[in-house]
Structure formats: C-alpha cells, structure tokens
Amino acid sequence: MNEECIKIQRAQRNKKIRFICYQILLFVLFLGLWELLASTGIINTFLFSKPSAVFKLLIKYIKGNQLMHHVYISVYETILGIIIGSSLGIIIASILWYFETLSQIMKPFLNILNSLPKTALAPIMIIWAGTNVKGIVVVAISILIVITILSTYQHYLNVDKEKIKMMQSFKATKLQIFLKLIFPSNLGNLLSVVKINIGMSWVGVIVGEFLVSREGLGYLIMYGGQVFKLDLVMMGVFVLAICAFLMYVVVEQIEKILLKGRN
C-alpha cells in the first residue's frame, strides 16, 4: 500500500515538473520569436521594443538602484489594498449573511456599485482621499471590495442547507453556525477570492499611479509611454507581471498550509 502511494506521489510530482518545463519552454519560445521578429524588422522595435533591449534596461535600473524603490512602492500599495479590501469585504459579507433583512436592503445597491466603472471614478476618489499613497490604496480597495462582498456572500449561501438544519436541530445559535460551519467550510473559497484580488488590487494601484504618482511601476509605465520609450514600458510591464506572480504564489502556499489539515 505504501509503495503504491509512493508511486502515485512520484507520478504526480513528475507530471507537475513536466508542466513547469512546458511553461518555461513556451515562455522562452515567445521571447525568442519576439526577438527574432524585432531583429529582422518584421515588427517595429519603436512600437514593440525587443527582449534584449528590455533586459539591458532592466539591468541598468537594477545597477542604478532605481528599480527596487519603484517596486517597493507599488508592492506596498498593492498589499495594503489586498489586506484592507479583502478584510473589509469578508467582514461586510459576514454581516450581510448574519442579518438577512440588511442583505436584502443592500443587495440592489451592491449590484449598482459593482456595475460602476471604478477606474473612471479614480480621479474623484484620489481627490477625496489625497494625492498620495492613501489615495492610490483607496482606488485599489474600491475596485476589489464590492466583488469581494458579493463573491463571499454567495459562497456563504452555497453551504449545504442540510448541515445548517442539523446544527439548528441541536439548538445552535446563528453565530455558532457561522463560526463552526459557514466560515470554516468556505476558507478555501475565501483564499481563492484573495488570489483574484491580487490582480484587481494591482489594477487599482497602477491606475492610481498613472494619475498622481511620481514613483512606482505605474509611473514608470506611464512615463515610458509619454516619452515614447517602449523599452521602459515593456520593462515595467515585465516587472509588474513578476511581482503579481510572486504574490499569487505566496497566497497559494499560504492556502496549502491552511488547508493541509482539512484534506
């Protein structure tokens, strides 16, 4: 039996390694094709740049100690947006689940807020909150909080009704049902919401930095576009993608640790 389990685990590990190799190969092929098309003049390097130029600029920014400052600012704002927005969203969704009447009253307003283009309202929010880190974080929170509330609330409603009835038959209070059943059974779903919020928070931060910031990855991308320096734009996008990916991996590892004992 143990040998069979070891074989299954080894097969799963080999399969995972194989998929990672495929992903790396696909990425390398993409960069190679991009470099080839740019070097042969098939695509305009003024508009699309090329990987070698982007890499040289990246090294220059790293050696000049300029890049890490911009990365730190954007990552800090993004993490603040994720933590505050996700926490508030989950708390509000929990309150709405507990008070059914309140949830019915708020439902149309939440749907309206969800349909509003938050990025278009970003200048107003920045004026309200201030043209600094606070304003940029508020934009990030505004983009993810409503969808967090709606998603979390829907997950709460999808809990098996028979289990709720069983707890009610044992005279469990609504708070006990929430703490012992609703929240624990949705821990995986809540972590999935947080992973989605990583990308949404980055959108808010970049939009905010486009508008008011003089530092951060959003500023680098905007400045590169303004002076038609596509190497800088592509470098900013590349670094942004790496940061978002690493944050996603961190949350995924936290998810594995928290759910390990539940499987």
The pLDDT tens digits for 134-153 are 889 999 999 999 999 999 99
- Give how many domains the chain has, as a whole number: 2
Per-residue pLDDT, 5 = 67
Query: Could you tell me if 149 and 240 lie in one domain?
Result: yes
Q: How far apart are CA 114 and CA 149, in angstroms?
A: 10
Asked if the model's pLDDT at residue 182 lies above 80, the reply is: yes
Residue 261, classed as helix, strand or coil, is coil
Query: Could you tell me if 152 and 225 lie in one domain?
Result: yes
Q: How far apart are CA 126 and CA 208, in angstroms?
A: 8
Query: Could you tell me if 178 and 133 lie in one domain?
Result: yes
Query: CA separation (Å) from 102 to 25, 97, 152, 236?
Result: 52, 9, 16, 44
Burial per residue of 71-98, b for 16 or more beta-carbon CB atoms within 10 angstroms, e otherwise: bebbbebbbbbbebbbeebbebbbebbe
Query: Could you tell me if 198 and 107 lie in one domain?
Result: yes
Alpha-carbon dihedral sign for residues 115, 117, 122, 125? negative
Per-residue pLDDT, 261 = 56
Query: Could you tell me if 18 and 85 lie in one domain?
Result: no
Query: Could you tell me if 6 and 93 lie in one domain?
Result: no
Q: How far apart are CA 60 and CA 49, in angstroms?
A: 16
What pTM, to 2 d.p., does this model score?
0.85
Determine the structural domain holding residue 21 and report its residue range. Answer: 1-43
